[in-house]
Amino acid sequence: MSLKYYCRMCGTCCHEVPGDYVKRIPIYPDEADRLIEIAKEHNIKFQIIEDLVFPDIKNEKILIITYRIRLDNKNQGCPFYNKQSGCTVHDSKPLACQAYPLALKRIDAFNFEISIDPLCNFVISNYDELKDLDIERLKEVFKDEYPKAERFYQKNKKLIFKIRKLEALKKIEIPRQISLEEFNVYLQQWEREDLSI
């Protein structure tokens, strides 16, 4: 099998997909700051929404690991996407976009793994060949994207490690079980803190 990934430049990954699925382009707080600056410089309406967060019941704070890009209402697309030229922030693209169609799949509250996003059009067309790839073949097929996915994974891992370290030092406390009602109350009432490394 000599399959190699290439981007078809269809722009699907920069837009909402029809159906029940909600598009998630995760960005770290430092990436969000950079994109906010770029948006200001170019007068682009850019908004972010909290994405991966943990409630710290010791300090009554919401710790933010990632935000996600709010898609624009009219086109349901990333505000940095241009129909003619595609992504307009190529050099400052978030790690999630650099690694795509490789993505981080959440296994449980604290663990993630590198996986292939099934919504990419290249992946859809080659699904049968891609669905059972082992790690070595994954690295070959996604030769340029895999190192970026690895960086994405490592950054996530360091942030999760930081949370666990703060927990071990008893500086924060993250509940292992929490009801949706409680979590919603915390989200409404508590201050936010970006977690960065």
Give the residues lining the site for ligand SF4 (CB under 6 A).
7-14, 25, 78, 80-81, 87, 89, 93, 97, 100-101, 120-122
Q: Decide if 54 contacts 183 (C-beta within 8 A).
A: no
- Minimal distance in Å, beta carbon 157 to ligand SF4? 22
Query: Closest CB to ligand SF4 among 34 and 139?
Result: 34
Q: Which is nearer to ligand SF4, 59 or 88 (CB)?
A: 88
Minimum CB distance to ligand SF4 smaller for 86 or for 183 = 86
Shortest distance, CB of residue 126 to ligand SF4, whole angstroms? 11
CB of 167 to ligand SF4, least distance (A): 32
Cβ proximity to ligand SF4: between 113 and 144 the closer is 144
CB of 92 to ligand SF4, least distance (A): 8
- Name 18's Cβ contacts closer than 8 Å, sequence gap at least 6: none
Cα distance between residue 179 and residue 96, in whole Å: 29
Alpha carbon distance 106, 175 (integer Å): 18
Q: Which is nearer to ligand SF4, 55 or 101 (CB)?
A: 101
State in angstroms the smallest separation of the CB of 90 from ligand SF4: 7
**Which positions ≥6 away from 51 have C-beta within 8 Å?**
24, 26, 27, 64, 65, 66, 67, 68
Q: Which residues contact 82 (CB under 8 A, 6 or more apart)?
A: 88
Distance CA 121, CA 123 (A): 5
